[in-house]
Structure 1
Amino acid sequence: MKKMFCFFVFCCFWHLVVFGVEDEVKSVTEGESVTLQTHVTELQTRDLITWTFGYPETKIAEINREDAIFSTYDDVLDGRFRDRLELDNQTGSLTITDTRTTDSGLYTVNIKDTKSTTTYRFNLTVYARLPVPVISRNSSQCSSSSSSSSQQNCSLLCSVVNVGHVTLSWYKGNSLLSSISVSDLSISLSLPLEVEYQEKNSYSCVINNPITNQTTHLDISKLCHLSKKISVVSFSSYFQTGYIFFSFFFF
């Protein structure tokens, strides 16, 4: 029994040394560069490094110092990575330049030396650049709660187009008023808001993903100016005295 237990412990240890896997999550914005580290200080003569992408795995880079191989295979996958892969000759780390959303996925590096094989996996997400939210007057929804101009409402709409994996929100100062989230790609979003015409509070519309955001601040005086309509309610004339009286009401 003792021998079996020792053998089991040895097998577990051997499995960790040979097949040890460590995962890392990385996120960047489209157009930025990202480096996937091997955590190797300096490659040795007999070290063999292989980089793959996706599942099933496609080889995209390889270093074999003993056979003088130092290559990136950026023509695979219909040239998806063409001219955008860089290998560090000293550490074997891989850099992807000018990233695109199609670069999102699983990257695996196998590092084999004379004693063991170590595997690192990187889950990379490349987010599209965020557009600046556009705030406009939603005239079709304009309403008036009473005849008093101070209580009339201005209906607004915050919009963005061709976005995915984002949240669109309205804020009053630092307080969240409403929000909507989507996970689909290339979709248009709109979020309504009603404010009083003469309100002095600060409002902003924010679009964000897990790593960045864009904000547009509302200029109430520009979008929600109150048009004054003049109506003549009464007209009285007294020709005998020579006085004429006009009464005006402003809405």
Structure 2
Amino acid sequence: MILYLFCLCFFPLIDAETDEIVSAINSGSFTLRTGFTEIQSDHEIEWRFGSRRTLINAAEKVNLLPIFRDRLLIQRETGDLTITNITNEHTGVYELSIVSGQKELQKKLIVTVYAPVPVPVITRYSPQCSSLSSSAAVASKTVLLCSVLNVEHQDENTYSCVVNNPVSQQTKHLDIDQLCQKCSDCDNRCQKEL
């Protein structure tokens, strides 16, 4: 019983928080937050990165990983870590450790860096051209292809193609009236990019 109490006195109490997911866009920046509005002078803050848990906020920058050189900003008041001009190499697990006396707070943050999405392209393909001027007749014989996803019907005259990821979105709209014009050259099978 005495040995058990002795061990409790010398091991720090650890508060582990749940993981936080952070999404960022390539060439942009992201900020990892400690959750504090002000860090006390007796708090020791460590930010680590990757499976090797490499220290990235050391005062001595000599051994800093190349992917973090000239990209780190640490806010003195809060301990928040901002990384600028990010690339896919910054995707990974970041660990925060704040020690105050015998108490330690640990937090894991999972960062994913995404490329910006391209503007989608909607392509019209009509296997048989129709000389009818009716929009219903032309639309019924036309297939719309989206460069990334399926084309969605929005309302009576509008279709849209949406491409997105957690950090960016691009949408291309198509009014069916643009599509419903007489085909001038039926021999070309009416393939047209809109």
Shorter-chain TM-score bucket reads 0.7 to 0.9
Kept after mapping to 2: 8 A contact 1:74/1:82: no
Does the aligned pair in 1 maintain the 2:144–2:151 contact within 8 Å? Answer: no
Cα deviation per residue 1:95-138 (whole Å; 9 max; x = unaligned)? 11122232111100111121311111111122211111011233
> Aligned to 2:166, which of 210, 223, 232?
210
1:238 aligns with: none
State which of 222, 225, 238 in structure 1 corresponds to 2:181: 225
Provide the rounded CA distance (Å) in 1 between the counterparts of 2:36 and 2:61: 19
Deviation at 1:57, TM superposition (A): 1.3
Residue 60 of structure 1 contacts residue 74 of structure 1 at CA under 8 Å; is this kept in 2?
Answer: no
Size of the aligned set, in residue pairs, is 177
Structure 2 distance, partners of 1:216, 1:96, is 32
User: Are residues 1:45 and 2:31 paired?
Assistant: no
Give the corresponding residue for 1:65: none
1:99 to 69, 77, 86: 86
Query: 1:83: Cα distance to partner?
Result: 1.2
1:115 partnered with 2:102: yes
Letter matched to residue 154 of structure 2: G
Equivalent residues of 2:39, 2:79 under 8 A apart: yes
Q: What's the RMSD between the two structures over aligned residues?
A: 3.3
1:136-215 equivalences in 2 (<5 Å): 136-138=123-125, 142-143=127-128, 150-152=136-138, 153-160=141-148, 168-173=149-154, 201-215=157-171
> What are the ranges of 5 or more consecutive residues in structure 2 without an aligned counterpart?
186-194
Larger Rg: 1
Of 47, 52, 55, which aligns to 1:59? 55
Partner of 1:241: none
Q: Distance in 2 between matches of 1:92 and 1:130?
A: 32
Q: Is the 8 A contact 2:26 2:85 kept in 1?
A: yes
SS in 2 for 1:102: helix
- CA change 1:84–1:201 in 2 (3 A) is same
Pick aligned residue for 2:32 from 36, 60, 68 = 36
Q: Output the TM-score relative to the length of structure 1.
A: 0.59
**Amino acid across the alignment from 2:165:** N
Amino acid at match of 1:28: A
Kindly indicate which of the two structures has a greater share of residues assigned to strand: 1
The reply to whether residue 18 of structure 1 matches residue 13 of structure 2 is yes
Distance 2:27 2:183 in 1: 46
Counterpart Cα distance in 2 of 1:43 and 1:74: 26
Q: Please state whether the residue corresponding to 1:218 is helix, strand or coil.
A: strand
Of structures 1 and 2, the one scoring higher in RCO (CA 8 A, sep 6+) is: 2
The one-letter code matched in structure 2 to 1:116 is K
